[in-house]
Amino acid sequence: MTTIFEPNLICSEHTIQDPPTPSTSEKAWHSIFASKKFSSLLTMSPTPKEEAKVVHRSPSHVSVNVMQENPPYQIDQTTLIELVKEKKLERLQEFGGVNGVASTFGTDTQVGISGGADDVARLRNTFGSNTYNKPPTKGFFHFVIEALKEPAVMILLGCAALSLGFKIKAHGHKDSWHEVGSNFAAVFLPIVVSAISNYMQNRQFEELSRANNNILVDVVRGGQRQQLPMFDVVVGDIVCLKMGDQVPADGLFLDGHSLQVDESSMTGATEHTEVNSSQNPFLLSWTKVAHGDARMLVTSVGMNTTWGQISRETNEQTPLQARLNKLSSSIAKVGLAVAFPVLVVLLVRYFTGHTKDEKGNREFNRSKTKTSDIINAIVGIATTAITTAAEGLPLVVTLTLAYSKKKMVADQAMVRKLSACETMASTTTICTAKTGTLTLNRMKVTKFWLEYELSGSPTEKAILSWAVVELKMDVEKTKKRCAALQVEAFIPQKRRSGVLIERNDDDTVHVHWKGAAEMILAMSSSYYDASGVVKDLDDGERMKFEEIIQGMAASSLRCIAFAHKQVPEEEYQNLKEQKKLKEDSLTLLGLVGIKDPCRPGVKKAVEDCQYAGVNIKMITGDNVFTAIAIATECGILKPVVEGEEFRNYTSQERMEKVEKIQVMAGFSPFDKLLMVQCLKQKGHVVAVTGDGTDDAPALKEADIGLSTGIQGTEAARESSDIVILDDSFASVATVLRWGRCVYTNIQKFIQFLLTANVATLCINFIAAVSTGEVPLTTVQLFWVNLYMDTLGALALATERPTKELLEKPPVGRTEPLITNIMWRNLLAQALYQIAVLLTLHFNGESIFGVTKKVNHTLIFNTFMLCQVFNKFNARKLEKKNVFNDMHKNKMFIGITGVTIVLQVVMVEFLKRFTDTERLNWGQWGACIAIAAASCPLGWAVKCLPVPKKPIFSYLKWNVAGLDQNS
C-alpha cells in the first residue's frame, strides 16, 4: 500500500509507516510534480478569461493630452444619477452599456483614467467631488446662546439686569457696577465654561467622523492599481471591490465574480442583492459587498449619489448621560422644592420688617421705602433662592468621556460610539475571535508534504509565497496558461473557496478547491500518492489523512487542503447554468499546516479579564483540535463545543449550556450571533470582537461591538462601537479597564457633587427659616458651583485605570448609579459640613470674636475648603488611603493647587466682587483645620459596613433619578 510522501514530517506518528528516504532525483521530481499540481490553484486570479491579457502602457510619445480645457462630456450628471438610482437597464443599453458610459468619460475599462492629474481634476470639476455637504460647523457663540436658553440662567440674568438698573438709579454708576457686575460675571462664567466644553466636544465628534470616513479604496488609474482615500474618487474611476468593502460611490458593474451586495442601509432589504452585467449592473454608494469581488465604474460621487441626500449628522447622547440628565432633573426639582420655601420665608420676613440693612435699620418700612428699593430687594431675594437650586451635573459626562476617549486612542482603541465607554463597565462576557486577535495573523507554513518553511502574512499569501519561493513557480506564466471562468469566494459557513478555470493549451476545464482540511477531505474520493499516481481514497487512507489533520491541529496549526478535478464538457454546461462548482469526487492534492502564533501578552490579558469577573469565550472557525491548542496556549481552555453541535441544541439546551461553554470551534457567523443572543437572554452584557463582513450581525447584536482596525473589513468597523487599532486582545482588556474607569470616575464626581449640594440646600434652608438670611451670597454660590461642576469634574475625570478596578465584579445592568457605599460617604460628609457651618452661622461671631461680615467670610472660606478636601475623599470610594498614587495624577494636583490659589485671591483681593473680608493667619488656619478634618472622618466612615442590597429597594416607592431604572 502506497503512503503519502512525508520526509521528516514532525507528526509522522500519525502515518502507518515512514517511507524510504528518497534519492536526490526523486526529490527533484517530486518538487516539480508538486509545483505543477499546486500552481493551477495557488495563482488563480479572479479575472474573467477576456481580462487575463496583460495591458501594456502606451509609449510616452503617444500619450499626448489633446483634450480641451473643458471637454464636452456626452452624458450629463442628472442622467447619470437617474440611471443608477432608478436602475434603468434599457437606458444603459442606449449608451452602449457600461463600456459606452466609460468611453464618454475618456476611461479605459482596463487602464482606468489614463490622462493623469489634469483629467482627474477636470472630471472632479465637472461632476463634483466625493464629499458630502454637512450642516455648518457650530461656532463657539452657538453654544453660548444654547446655554443662555436655560430658564434658570435667563431668570438670573433678568434679575441681574433689573438690579443693575435700580442700583444705578439709586446710587449712580460708580457705586453700583462692582456689585451688580460681579453678579453678571458669576452668571456668565459658568455659561462660558459650559459653552467651551460643548464646543470642544462638538469638535471631537467632527474629528471622529472624519476619521471614521477616511476609508482607503483600491482604484485603477493609468494602468496601476493603487489605494486612495474614498474622498479622492472621481467619476470615471475604476474601483476594485472585494468582500467586506464599502461601495464608495454610485456606479456600474464592469466585471467580477458572484457579487452580492448588502443594500439594507439604502433600501431596507434584508436579503443580499446580486449584481451582474446582464440583469443588475447598478451599485449604490455606502452599500457593502457581502460576497464575491468586482470592478466598478464610478458614475456619481458625493452629493450626487443616492446616499448624498441622506443626512448623517451625529447627535449622540449616551445612556449614562440620559441617566444623569434624569438625576440632574431630580436634583433640580429638590433644589426648587427647597428654593421655593426659602423665597417665601425671605419675602415674608422682608415685608414684615424682620430683615435689616448693614446699619441695623429695617429694610422695609411701608410708608418710607421706595418702590424701586422694594423691587430691588425682591430681585435680590429671588436671585438668592434660584442660585441655591442651581447645579450642572451633566457637564461631568462630557468632560469625562472626552478625556477618556482621547486617552483610549493612545491605548490603541478608537471609540466610535461614546455609549460603549460606559457599557464596558458592565461587561460580563467577551466573545473573542481567534485569528488576528488572540493570534498575530502572521501565517507561517510549517508543515507540508515537502517540509519547507516560509513566513507570510494572511493564509493565501503565505501559501502563495511558499509556492513561489520554494517551488520556483512563475506566477505570470501560470496566469497566462489559464483563465478563471467562475469563482466561489470564501464563505465562513462552508470554510472553503473554489475556482473554475480553463487551460489555454488544451481548452480543458478544471475545478479547484481549497479550504479547511476536513471539509476538502470530505469532498475527495481519490488522492495523489508520492509517485503522482491517482489512488482511491478508501476508509483506511481517509483515516490516515484524518490523523494527519488532527496531528497538525493539535500542534496549533491551521490545516489547509487542496483538491481538483477535470470537468467534462457536458458537465461544465450544467455547472454553467446552475452557477455552481462541482463539489464531489475530487482528487486530493495536498495538505499544509499553517502556524498563526499567539500574540505576546494575550495570556496575561485573558487572566486580567477573568480576574475582573469577565468570562472569556473564544470563537473560531478552525476545527476543534486547533481551537483547543490555541485556547490552552491563551489560558481559556474549558468546556468546548463545535458549531454544528451548538446549532443543533434545542433552545432550552442552549440556554442551559451557553454560560459554561468557553471554546467554540467550527463556528459560523450565524452560530456566533446565536451565541450572543443566548447570552443576552441570560442577562449578560456581551462584548464581541470581529473582523469580517459576516461578523456584522453579531457586532450589532452585542452590547459592545469591537472591530479590528488592521485586518477588519469596513462592514465590521461600521457595525462596531469601538475599533481596536492594533487588533490585539490585550487592547480589548485595556478597553475593559477604561470602561470601568469612566463609570467609576463619574460615580466619584456624583458623590463629590451631591455632598456639596445636600450641604448647601440644608444650610441655606435652615438659615433662611431661622434668621431670614442665607450665609452664602449669590456670587459665592456661583463660585462653588463653578468649582464643583468644572474643576472638580476635571480633577476626578483624569483618574486613569488602575488594577483595583479589576478587583470588583462587573457593574450589573440594574445596579443603582448611586450605591450604598456612595450614600454612606456623602451623607457623612454632608452632615459634617452642615453641622460645622451652621455652628459658624449661629455662633461664629462669638467663637472668633469677629464681625458679621467676617463671619460670613469664614463660612464661605470653610465651605469652599471643605469641598477641596472632600475631593480627596472622592478619589477612592472604598479604599481608606485616598492619597495612594496621587502623585501619578498631575492634573489632579494642578487643579487642586489652582483652586486654592483662586480661593485666596477671591477672599483677599476681590472682596468688592465676592462680598468678603480679609482673614488673618489664625482665621485661615482655623478654616483649613476644620476642612481638613473631613479626611480622617472619611477614613473612619469607610470602616462602617453597608448592606449589599440597594438602600431604596427597602422602600416600596422609587426615587426618580437615583437608581438604574429611573
Q: Where do the domains of the chain lie?
A: 73-315, 319-401+736-946, 413-441+599-727, 474-595
Alpha carbon dihedral 563, 567, 573, 576, in 10-degree steps, equals 20
Q: What is the pLDDT of residue 15?
A: 30
Q: What is the pLDDT of residue 44?
A: 41
Q: To which residue does cell 451599485 refer?
A: 283
- DSSP for residue 868: H
604 closest CA partner among 646, 648, 634: 634
What's the whole-number mean pLDDT along residues 876-883? 90
pLDDT band at 614, cuts 50/70/90? very high
Structural contact between residues 788 and 753, judged by C-beta atoms closer than 8 angstroms: yes
Choice among 462-466, 563-567, 670-674 with the minimum mean pLDDT: 462-466
pLDDT band at 578, cuts 50/70/90? low
704-708 and 288-300 strand pairing: unpaired
Q: Is the pLDDT of residue 932 over 90?
A: yes
- DSSP for residue 50: G
396 closest CA partner among 461, 320, 459, 452: 320
Strand partners, 239: 219, 296
pLDDT band at 254, cuts 50/70/90? very high
Burial tier of 491 (Cβ tally within 10 Å: 0-12, 13-18, 19+)? middle
Instruction: In whole angstroms, give the CA distance from residue 699 to residue 706.
Output: 7
Structural contact between residues 693 and 716, judged by C-beta atoms closer than 8 angstroms: yes
pLDDT band at 929, cuts 50/70/90? very high
- Fold classification of 319-401+736-946 is Calcium-transporting ATPase, transmembrane domain (1.20.1110)
pLDDT band at 23, cuts 50/70/90? very low
- DSSP for residue 416: S
Structural contact between residues 768 and 342, judged by C-beta atoms closer than 8 angstroms: yes
Please give the CATH architecture assigned to the domain spanning 474-595. 3-Layer(aba) Sandwich (3.40)
CATH number of 413-441+599-727: 3.40.50.1000
Instruction: In whole angstroms, give the CA distance from residue 15 to residue 392.
Output: 74
| Cell triple for 924 | 485661615
Alpha-carbon torsion (71, 72, 77, 79), positive or negative: negative
In angstroms, the first-to-last Cα distance of the chain is: 75
pLDDT band at 210, cuts 50/70/90? low
Q: What is the pLDDT of residue 457?
A: 38
pLDDT tens for 379-388 read 777 766 666 6
541 closest CA partner among 528, 554, 555, 532: 528
Choice among 487-501, 698-712, 913-927 with the minimum mean pLDDT: 487-501
Structural contact between residues 368 and 790, judged by C-beta atoms closer than 8 angstroms: no
374 closest CA partner among 351, 399, 395, 405: 351
Q: Averaging pLDDT over each range in 158-167, 210-219, 382-391, which range is the top one?
A: 210-219
Question: What percent of the chain lies above the pLDDT cut of 70?
Answer: 74
| Cell triple for 856 | 460670613
Output Rg (C-alpha) for the chain, integer angstroms: 37
What's the whole-number mean pLDDT along residues 891-918? 88
pLDDT band at 862, cuts 50/70/90? very high
| Cell triple for 846 | 462669638
Instruction: In whole angstroms, give the CA distance from residue 876 to residue 185.
Output: 34
* Cβ-proximal residues to 262 (8 Å cutoff; 6+ apart), any chain: 272, 273, 287, 288, 289, 290, 693, 715
Q: What is the pLDDT of residue 41?
A: 41
Q: Is the pLDDT of residue 487 over 50?
A: yes
Q: What is the pLDDT of residue 140?
A: 78
324 closest CA partner among 253, 400, 380, 222: 400
Alpha-carbon torsion (319, 322, 328, 330), positive or negative: negative
Q: Is the pLDDT of residue 132 over 60?
A: yes
Q: Please state which of the four CATH numbers 2.70.150.10, 1.10.10.10, 3.30.360.10, 3.40.50.970 is assigned to the domain occupying 73-315.
A: 2.70.150.10
HSE-CB at 666 with a 13 A cutoff on CA atoms is 18
Q: Amino acid identity of 222? A: G
The percent of the chain in helix, strand and coil, each rounded to the nearest 5, is 50, 15, 35
pLDDT tens for 33-87 read 344 444 444 434 344 433 333 333 333 333 333 344 444 577 888 888 888 888 8
Q: What is the pLDDT of residue 152?
A: 62
Instruction: In whole angstroms, give the CA distance from residue 925 to residue 920.
Output: 9
Q: Is the pLDDT of residue 775 over 80?
A: yes
Structural contact between residues 799 and 889, judged by C-beta atoms closer than 8 angstroms: yes
What does pTM read for this prediction? Answer: 0.66
Q: To which residue does cell 492619597 refer?
A: 883
